[in-house]
Amino acid sequence: MQSYDLVIRGGTVVTAADTVRADVGITGGRIVAVGENLSPGTNEVSADGLLVMPGGIDSHVHLAQPAFGGPAMADGFETGTRSAIAGGNTTVIPFALQPRGASLRASVVDYHKESDGKSYCDYGFHLIISDPTSTVLGQELPSLVGDGYTSFKVFMTYEDLVLSDRQILDVLDCARSCGALVMIHCEGYDAIRFMTEKLELASKKAPYYHAVSRPESVEREATHRAISHAELTDVPIMIVHVSGREAMEQLRWAQQKGLKVYGETCPQYVALTADDLKGLNMDESGGKYVCSPPPRDKTSWDAIWEGIRSGVFQTFSSDHCPFFYEGEMGKLNPKARTSFKWVPNGIPGVETRLQILFSKGVVEGRITLNEFVALTSTNHAKMYGLYPKKGSIAPGFDADIVLWDPNRKETIRQELLHHGADYTPYEGMEVTGWPVMTFLRGKKVMENGEILGSPGDGTFLARDLSPYAAPVDRTNH
């Protein structure tokens, strides 16, 4: 008779494909059986009345990223991944950022120093390329891709990160030859600078004007430009954090044309609006919601749901990018009070991503349970070279599992959360559906909000090439 280290018994197992009543047998950190009436395990957990789903994979989080002279992030690996497991996640993929002038390889080495021994969940690194020199493109990137850093992000805005069109084309070309997947932040740098200067001249400097300075047209134009560059170089791309109809329709147009353009959206684009940034005085709470692209309006929520339901978007990520609200390091720091352009850009959300999508998506009848799993776990694993190790519940997969109470009603409150930030932009939001246990490779690391795991439980994941990236001609290698 087969014996198991752990049996999760009597739950409803949900994958991207199926929903079945089954037990899950785990040995050596892996799933070895899914079926009815499994023989007893050394340890047993009852999942009666609960959903048994693959742990969330959040493929877009920012942890311990260099601050460029601005306030430091509120989360390093320890608090950020603690928050992740509390929210039912088992893998995150943050970004190793290359500051201009620095070696990309050295930036990756430094980022390992930030993460080694500190993570509560498994993690890989995307790369952020801010300085695509010939050494970076010719030597560092190909070698890093070979070492398992198989995706990178480029930016069309932000002073310290923006690339020119020519540089983006060069990065895409490099991605083509090494088989990496390129994520693109699509907002137009010049248009935002133009708008920012106009607004400041008119003394419109409160946090709300952050949203006015980067309207949907600015995102739509950059999205179209990125798609055109991808078409020219014949390289698949992932457009990240799509905020509303204008950009969503660009993705749909490209996909209908047969281009390999993939899409990501985030909780803030179905749960927040630009009005949240109001409170037109510098000391009111608008800064709590400053992120890029900014949240739009409720009709944009409908557009995002349309994109989710029709398959325009493959992934639903948090874009967790946490800053403090209060204090010298916070969103209201003295410099930030002089103009919206200095308000630290980004919001926390790794711990609330699953609840928001479950509540607004599954409970309100917009998506199925299986689509929920695909959008929060399976598609991230497939897109970023972690499948079939992560992202499903079947023999051979890592036993990364969340037990989910589909009926639990909660009000999101800062005091429930485990991140380093001192606020949540979703304070007061009522949700149905909540994670009650998280297992990382078979180890119970969270139960009812209590963290049972340790920093260092999580291991670094060298990722395979994405099957969605450009195929590499291996005959040349």
Nearer to ligand URP by Cβ, of 345 and 370: the residue is 345
CB of residue 467 vs ligand URP: minimum separation in angstroms?
24
Q: Which amino acid is at 230?
A: A
Among 23, 122, 264, 319, binds Zn ion (CB under 5 A): 319
Alpha-carbon distance 456 to 117, whole Å? 4
Give the distance between the most distant pair of CA atoms in the chain.
77
288 neighbors 423 (Cβ within 8 angstroms): yes
Report the chain's terminal Cα–Cα distance, integer Å.
47
CB of residue 121 vs Zn ion: minimum separation in angstroms?
18
CB of residue 240 vs Zn ion: minimum separation in angstroms?
6
319 neighbors 61 (Cβ within 8 angstroms): yes
Q: Report which of 179, 303, 321, 324 is spatially closest to residue 248, judged by C-alpha positions.
A: 303
Q: CB within 8 A of 96, min separation 6: which ones?
A: 107, 108, 110, 111, 125, 126, 127, 128, 149
CB of residue 134 vs ligand URP: minimum separation in angstroms?
26
Nearer to ligand URP by Cβ, of 171 and 403: the residue is 171
360-399 binders of ligand URP (CB under 6 A): none
CB atoms within 10 A of CB 411: 11
Alpha-carbon distance 340 to 332, whole Å? 10
Q: Binding string, 303-332, against ligand URP, x = CB under 6 A?
A: ----------------x-x-----------
Q: Report which of 303, 277, 320, 273 is spatially closest to residue 366, judged by C-alpha positions.
A: 303
Residue 74 interacts with ligand URP (CB under 6 A)?
no
Nearer to ligand URP by Cβ, of 10 and 99: the residue is 99
Task: Enter the DSSP assignment of 361.
Answer: I
Q: Report which of 439, 409, 468 is spatially closest to residue 89, judged by C-alpha positions.
A: 439
181-240 binders of ligand URP (CB under 6 A): 185
Nearer to ligand URP by Cβ, of 324 and 387: the residue is 324
Residue 220 interacts with Zn ion (CB under 5 A)?
no
CB of residue 466 vs ligand URP: minimum separation in angstroms?
19
Residue 291 interacts with ligand URP (CB under 6 A)?
yes
β-strands 89-92, 41-46 pairing: unpaired
CB of residue 60 vs ligand URP: minimum separation in angstroms?
7
| 345, interface contact from ligand URP, Zn ion, none, CB < 5-8 Å by kind | ligand URP
165 neighbors 192 (Cβ within 8 angstroms): no
Residue 292 interacts with ligand URP (CB under 6 A)?
yes
Nearer to ligand URP by Cβ, of 63 and 291: the residue is 291
Backbone φ, ψ for residue 233 (5° rounding)? -95, -5
Q: CB within 8 A of 69, min separation 6: which ones?
A: none
Query: Where does residue 398 fall: left (phi above 0), alpha (psi -120 to 50 degrees), or beta otherwise?
Result: beta
CB of residue 318 vs ligand URP: minimum separation in angstroms?
10
Among 345, 368, 370, 454, binds ligand URP (CB under 6 A): 345
CB of residue 335 vs ligand URP: minimum separation in angstroms?
17
Nearer to ligand URP by Cβ, of 380 and 441: the residue is 380
Nearer to ligand URP by Cβ, of 295 and 433: the residue is 295
Residue 251 interacts with ligand URP (CB under 6 A)?
no
Nearer to ligand URP by Cβ, of 52 and 206: the residue is 206
On the question of a cis peptide bond just before residue 388, with omega within 30 degrees of 0, the verdict is yes
CB of residue 62 vs Zn ion: minimum separation in angstroms?
5
CB of residue 459 vs Zn ion: minimum separation in angstroms?
23
β-strands 315-316, 261-265 pairing: parallel
Site residue total, ligand URP (CB under 6 A): 9
| 105, interface contact from ligand URP, Zn ion, none, CB < 5-8 Å by kind | none
Residue 320 interacts with Zn ion (CB under 5 A)?
no
The window from 21-29, 75-83, 200-208, 317-325 that contacts Zn ion (CB under 5 A) reads 317-325
Task: Enter the DSSP assignment of 156.
Answer: S
Residue 230 is encoded by which pair of tokens?
A: 């991808």
Give CA 17 to chain center in angstroms: 22
- Contact residues: ligand URP, CB under 6 A: 62, 185, 241, 291-292, 319, 321, 345-346
**Can you give the binding site for Zn ion, defined by CB under 5 A?**
185, 319
